[in-house]
Amino acid sequence: MVTIDLAETPVRRANEIIRECGREGEDVEVVNPDARHHIGVGLIHDITVRVRGSAGYFCAGLTDGPRFEVDNNVGWGLADNVYRGSVVVGGNAGAIAGVAIRGAEVVVRGNIGSRAGQVMKAGTLCCAGNANFMAGYMMYGGRIVILGDSGERVGEDMTGGEIYVGSRIVSLGSDAMLTDISSDETDSLREFLDRYEIRFKGRFQKIVNAGKKLRYGTTEQQVRSIPFFTFSGASDYWSAKVQEDVYVKSRIGRYRVRGYGGARALPHLADLAFRNDVRDAGAVADPVSLVHMHTLIGGKNGAKPLDLSMPLMIAPMSYGALSRSTKQAIGMASSLAGIAENTGEGGMSDAQRGAAKQLIFQCLGGRLGWNIHDMNRADGLEIYISQGAKPGFGGQLMAKKVTKELAAIRGIPAGIDLRSPSRHPDILGADDLVIKVEELREATGYRLPVSVKLGAGRIRDDIKIAVKDGFDFVELDGMQGSTGAAGAEVLEYVGIPTISAIIEAP
């Protein structure tokens, strides 16, 4: 066993040693952790890592296969996005323990903080003590076991999976309900507890999704030519378009969702004209030879930069919003043009990775398709904060688009109306964001540039925060960008045009 003393070794070097030990099959003991962040992130080998003390944020995050044992307490984001393996904590865990796990077993012998198991996809999260509010928030699958009190609004907006509570259920969340538990489930739970030597003699209560919000009750049908009706009287407001919107919304019970961009005429880069003295035009036989567009971007913090033939990249568009063949074709086009493609929020497909020579992998709040293996085969990483066409809103994908292949990539149930959250579970402000950026860098050995996508809003403040938090570059998204799903009013009247956003950027 290799011993690493964090009182003498920086975390960055410690994680490099842990990964080296993983490749050699040697177990690791970490002493004097002193609640440092990012211990063990990015490890993809089946070894044991023992942390002799307390760990900080994102302990064991973005791993696949290892076994972590933490003697005392951990900060929030424990076992972030872990695939296989196990994490056992001897004390308490902070908020969002087990966030987005995709198959791991996470055991906390004490209490857990709020929103434990948020957007988890598979695996087991077990709390031997009490949970705080909204355990299982927006979980897509897997199971949560809480031996103590559940906390308020347990199972809030869960899509799939099960939550088992061994003591008091304080209150149920939206679209969560109690149901019967089978003897086989009880036996499986007790076998799990016995394996981790957790004693429990009580009875379990089972919470599942009530199924009222998995699919919209009425789909939006293809509309006939407007107007639907004739309005009695002249009115500038009650136009044919407004009449259509009112009618359709009354039938489907929600705001209308559509793709593409805004329809209003807006200022555009193509509207710019430059005044110059043209009397010398034609003096140079080959003026194009004087234009040098080759661009390197993303290397300011030591990562390998993106190597672009011109200062241009393809905007993020997900597999789901676009078809598999379209994403593959866009990847091929980016390779031919010598520029970079972006996965968007839907995860990375093999076809897209094979087609694009340079590919940026995007991380959203729902962590759909997000995993360490695709991070390692990407050429850049991007944290999505918002989108110019629908700033401040989450995503939606209609059930007919959630195919088996897409569901497998994203780690969600097939055939549901997918809703992804509007914010990240572990980013509540600028201080959290810088810790998240460092986690991504630690997990990938500081090899990849990390960017941020910002929908144009409070531009000056947002750009300053992005620079302070150490991003390699910023993608500023104006309202003309397309989107797979947003309300028409949001598309047309909420965002800021790109050219106006650039003017406001410091």
Spans of all domains in the chain: 2-209, 289-504
Task: Kindly report the three-state secondary structure assignment for every residue of 93-145.
Answer: ECCCCCCCCEEEEEEECCCECCCCCCCCCEEEEEECCCECCCCCCCCCCCEEE
Where residue 4 falls among pLDDT bands split at 50, 70, 90? very high
**Which pLDDT score, from 0 to 100, does residue 275 have?**
83
**Which pLDDT score, from 0 to 100, does residue 414 have?**
85
**Which pLDDT score, from 0 to 100, does residue 157 have?**
92
Structure tokens that stand for 171 in this block: 């209150």
With a CB cutoff of 8 Å and minimum separation 6, the contacts of 157 are 137, 138, 173, 174, 175, 213, 419
Whole-angstrom distance, CA of residue 382 vs CA of residue 369: 13
pLDDT one-digit tens code per residue, 41-59? 999 999 999 999 999 999 9
Instruction: Name which of 356, 369, 387 is nearest 479 in CA terms.
Output: 387
Whole-angstrom distance, CA of residue 231 vs CA of residue 218: 26
pLDDT one-digit tens code per residue, 302-343? 999 999 999 999 989 888 888 889 999 999 999 999 999 999
Structure tokens that stand for 438 in this block: 């460092």
Query: Count of CB atoms within 10 A of residue 224's CB?
Result: 8
**Which pLDDT score, from 0 to 100, does residue 227 have?**
44
Whole-angstrom distance, CA of residue 471 vs CA of residue 426: 17
With 60 as the cut, is the pLDDT of residue 223 above it?
no
With 60 as the cut, is the pLDDT of residue 113 above it?
yes
Instruction: Name which of 377, 374, 493 is nearest 83 in CA terms.
Output: 374
**Which pLDDT score, from 0 to 100, does residue 299 have?**
93
Where residue 108 falls among pLDDT bands split at 50, 70, 90? very high
Give me the percent of the chain exceeding a pLDDT of 90. Answer: 63
Q: Taking the domain 2-209, which CATH number applies?
A: 2.160.20.60
- First CA to last CA distance, the chain: 51
SS3 89: strand
Spatial contact of 505 and 476, defined as CB atoms under 8 Å apart:
yes
With 50 as the cut, is the pLDDT of residue 228 above it?
no
pLDDT one-digit tens code per residue, 94-107? 999 999 999 999 99
**Which pLDDT score, from 0 to 100, does residue 318 have?**
87
270-to-266, 273, 387, 499 alpha-carbon distances in Å: 11, 8, 22, 10
Structure tokens that stand for 421 in this block: 């959250």
Put residue 365 in one of left, alpha, beta given phi > 0 → left and psi -120 to 50 → alpha: alpha
At the fourth CATH level, the homologous superfamily of domain 289-504 is Aldolase class I (3.20.20.70)
Spatial contact of 371 and 102, defined as CB atoms under 8 Å apart:
yes
